[in-house]
Structure 1
Amino acid sequence: MVTYRIAALVAGFALLVAGCTSDTDGSPESTDDGDGPGATGDPDPGGVELPHSGAPSVDNPIDPEPFLGEPCSVFDVDALEVAGFEILEVTPEPKAPVGPTCQWIFDPRSDGSFSGIFGQLDEQGVSSVYAQRDSLDLFEELDPIEGHPIVAYSQHDGRESGRCSVAVGLRDDFAYDIGVTAIGVDNEYSADPCGTAHELAGLAIETMTEGEE
């Protein structure tokens, strides 16, 4: 069932967004409309040769194993702030059904959040997204970083409302998904949520590459 993974990951992302919902004035409410991180794909790759469906190969594979137990270690809060991302709160979910997950809430909270998921529901990497490109409302190849392909995707294009998800190829058979939910209408993240996700992808790749050295 080719939509299994994206449906599961969208549900997981919705729970993350709901977690930062508050009755306090100025705090974000869940606005998920199906734009969550997580590639499409069959949970059983069935020995399919990778990459497929036009997806590019990963030139510099990264082993995600060191980060699976501590998914929040992908982003150092100090490094995020140096890059211009003010962070209020960090919430790890290493045992999430969709795969090890972490959410970073922007400061102020009303700006929204972003999350990262080591999706473990298939073994097809970004090929899962490419295989479903014709059925996605948003499919856009972004500039690769250090040999790692990056693609923005969604069942429902939420860029105008500050939402974007990208899949980052760590290996041909493994993708890391980043979802930005910039709820505030007047913040720097909502103007270009896919650009924000792409910048975050670069920071993640840098951290995970250094972790292998």
Structure 2
Amino acid sequence: MRRVLPIAGVAALILTGCTGTTRGNPRPSSESPGQTATPDTADQVPGPGVPKVETPVDLTRFRQSPCDALSESQAGELIGPEVQTRPDLESPAGPACSWNPPDASRPLVRVIFDRAATAGLTSFYKDKGARYALFTPLEPINGYPVVAYGVYDARDTEGVCSVAVGTSDQEVFDVGLTLSQANVGKKDPCDVAREGAIRALTTIRGTS
């Protein structure tokens, strides 16, 4: 039985060569016609080492209705047959939805349509080893790149992991997974989170 419980819930710098003999009136150089302006690599997307998303997916609908990312049966395949659905449109990270058993805090799966990562997965790669102690690229899902990440590594101690899926070079969605207490240390929550991402991406691509 599905119950919905509402709750409150990174300009390219163009480097152009200029020459000219008149002070104060620079003009484009005519000596190097083959040269083109190149953007600052710090602002490129995807950034160095970041996989490119060849077929972007539109997330607009799901930012408005994040709980549509997983059906009740899809969520049940991840955390058990009886789930409740909790939308959180005001989440600081972005519109989100959580699924967990009634009257229990775990297991839990949460999908977030990240509003802060405006450089897509490049935002996550930049924070590798700095903000994120846990950062592991995972097997792509139908060509869409995936990384597991965390401020600290809580896989074995707390059974917690988040994965980010690049749906374009500028956008991602996240799936956070918390295992049941009985499965902590026995299952890899990043594997389960990726399974959640597979299901969510199937739903998202099927409706976009």
- Is 1:170 the equivalent of 2:162? no
Q: TM-score, normalised by structure 1?
A: 0.72
Aligned to 1:204: 200
Aligned to 1:156: 152
Alignment of 1:124-203 (within 5 A): 124-135=119-130, 136-160=132-156, 161-182=158-179, 184-187=180-183, 191-203=187-199
Give 1:181 deviation, angstroms: 1.7
Q: Which moved more, 1:84-93 or 1:117-126?
A: 84-93
Secondary structure (helix, strand or coil) at the match of 1:73 reads helix
Contact 1:153 1:164 in 2 (8 A): yes
Give 1:112 deviation, angstroms: 2.4
Q: Which moved more, 1:62-71 or 1:107-116?
A: 107-116
Q: TM-score, normalised by structure 2?
A: 0.73
Q: Which moved more, 1:163-172 or 1:85-94?
A: 85-94
Contact 1:151 1:167 in 2 (8 A): yes
Note the residue ranges of structure 1 that are not aligned, 5 or more in a row. Answer: 1-15, 20-41
Contact 1:60 1:146 in 2 (8 A): no
Aligned residue pairs total 169
Aligned to 1:69: 64
Letter in structure 1 aligned against 2:84: E
Rg comparison, structure with higher value: 2
Alignment of 1:86-125 (within 5 A): 86-106=81-101, 109=104, 111-125=106-120
Give 1:60 deviation, angstroms: 2.2
Give 1:134 deviation, angstroms: 2.4
Give 1:99 deviation, angstroms: 1.2
Distance in 2 (CA, whole Å) between partners of 1:189 and 1:207 is: 30
Secondary structure (helix, strand or coil) at the match of 1:109 reads coil
Contact 2:78 2:196 in 1 (8 A): no
Secondary structure (helix, strand or coil) at the match of 1:191 reads coil
CA RMSD of aligned residues (A): 2.3
Q: Which moved more, 1:157-166 or 1:116-125?
A: 116-125
- Is 1:58 the equivalent of 2:50? no
Letter in structure 2 aligned against 1:164: C
Q: Are residues 197 and 108 of structure 1, via their aligned partners in 2, closer, same or farther at CA, if it must alter by over 3 Å?
A: farther
Distance in 2 (CA, whole Å) between partners of 1:77 and 1:196 is: 16
Give 1:187 deviation, angstroms: 3.3
Give 1:208 deviation, angstroms: 0.5
Q: Identity over aligned residues, as a percent?
A: 32
Secondary structure (helix, strand or coil) at the match of 1:209 reads helix
Give 1:153 deviation, angstroms: 0.7
